[in-house]
Amino acid sequence: MSDDAKQVLTSAQVHDRAPGAWREVGGVLRTRLTTDGFTEALDLVVKIAAAADEANHHPDIDVRYNWVGLGLTSHDVGGLTSRDIELAGTISRIADDVGAGVTPEVGTQMTVGIDTPDAGAIRGFWAALTGHSPADDGSLPSPDGQLPEIWFQESELREGRDRVHLDVYVPHDRARERVDAVIAAGGRLVTDEFAPSWWVLADADGNVACVCTAQAAPE
């Protein structure tokens, strides 16, 4: 494998080079392919699996009654590379050949952030509660790809609300639309200081959540 194939791409490079049916969400290139039914979904997965084996690069696959969810990332280098772009293109061609539909706008990923002055004092509680296992960085990654990652943000101890919040990751070209929808639904913008990496919003009770993208925060 060439060194170029291990080069992590920037979010802008991913946006420019990824097939139109794919979006980067939380550092993963994602799409959803729709089919006529479960048999067709399984047949599509078999074709994708053969292409993945040939490329020696494998996506995460979620199979449902009439759709197939796909996620690509290069785990060995911790980001998206040309291998992901190339396999996404191959999968898109397979989908076109069998007449599968695409719904890239469904791509969303959530993590749970917990503010705490001492993550070590509470990490075991959350791991036991959810079944997550701690990673080397102290976060609690999803044990099966279905549950959200839990991470701990160092902060002073605060009573009341705002100590647990959701981070909702969306494609960067859909972020402003999502923020506007949240505000229209009764939310308020707390700050856009870190946009386009994340926007902090609050509901009418003051509960905070963030809309996040793979873009970098302003320096």
CATH 3.10.180.10 residue spans of the chain: 109-212
The answer to whether 216 and 12 have CB atoms below 8 angstroms apart is no
CA distance 139 to 167: 14
Fold of domain 109-212? 2,3-Dihydroxybiphenyl 1,2-Dioxygenase; domain 1 (3.10.180)
Q: Are strands 149-154 and 67-72 parallel, antiparallel or unpaired?
A: unpaired
Residue 161 has pLDDT above 60, yes or no: no
Nearest to 148, CA basis, from 14, 25, 6, 21 = 25
**Which DSSP letter does residue 78 get?**
T
Q: Which helix (H) or strand (E) holds 153?
A: strand 149-154
Count of alpha carbons within 13 Å of 86, Cβ hemisphere only? 14
Q: What is the mean pLDDT of residues 31-49?
A: 97
Does the domain at residues 4-106 carry the CATH identifier 3.30.70.580?
no
Q: What is the mean pLDDT of residues 93-102?
A: 95
The answer to whether 78 and 6 have CB atoms below 8 angstroms apart is no
Nearest to 28, CA basis, from 76, 63, 89, 71 = 71
CATH 3.30.1360.20 residue spans of the chain: 4-106
The answer to whether 84 and 8 have CB atoms below 8 angstroms apart is no
Residue 162 has pLDDT above 70, yes or no: no
Residue 183 has pLDDT above 80, yes or no: yes
Q: What is the pTM of this model?
A: 0.76
Q: Which helix (H) or strand (E) holds 169?
A: strand 164-169
pLDDT at 159: 66
Q: What is the mean pLDDT of residues 11-24?
A: 90
Residue 187 has pLDDT above 60, yes or no: yes
Per residue in 65-91, pLDDT (tens digit) is 999 999 999 988 989 999 999 999 999
**Residue carrying structure tokens 């386009």:** 196
pLDDT at 172: 86
Q: Which helix (H) or strand (E) holds 82?
A: helix 82-98
Mean pLDDT of the chain: 90
Residue 58 has pLDDT above 70, yes or no: yes
pLDDT at 150: 95
